A = this chain, B = another copy of it.
């Protein structure tokens, strides 16, 4: 978490419960839902489903793989999580209470660095207007080497030349 969090009036759990209850066919709020929201909003920023499953198990919580996948989808619909597609894998991060941003992804250490760029939002809206395109979302990822990995590669190269 690099960026400042926003003020929010409800806890994530309350918001999820509300989302589930509303709608034409109310959905139920289960123990598994509660455990997942509690865990996710106590820690993470970026995570893949598989990582989450491992960590949840280590925490002693019992939720099946299928339920984790199903609940992640609901959390995205509820506006609590954002879904990022990086490589072939879906990653998730907090959406509720956290500002929109883009990512630099290190191809070596897989670190994800968040950034915001002032003009980006206006740019996106302008492009959509020009093409009469009704935007639903976007993904913007810059791949490469982070400062640390780049530095260590430089070091290695210097040593190799000796």
Contacts and interface: CB of A to CB of B under 8 A. Distances in A.
Counted per complex, copies of this chain come to 2
Nearest to A149: B134
A138 B135 contact: no
Contact of A144 (B86, B135, B141, B144): B135
A136 B144 contact: yes
A104 interface: yes
A69 interface: no
Given A85-B87, A87-B85, A140-B140, A145 B127 contact: no
Interface string A102-142: 00101100000101010110011011101111111111111
Contacts of A134: 144-145, 150
A142 B104 CA distance: 17
The 10 A-B residue pairs with the shortest CB-CB distance in the complex, in nearest-first order: A132-B147, A136-B144, A135-B144, A134-B145, A138-B142, A140-B140, A134-B150, A134-B144, A137-B143, A136-B143
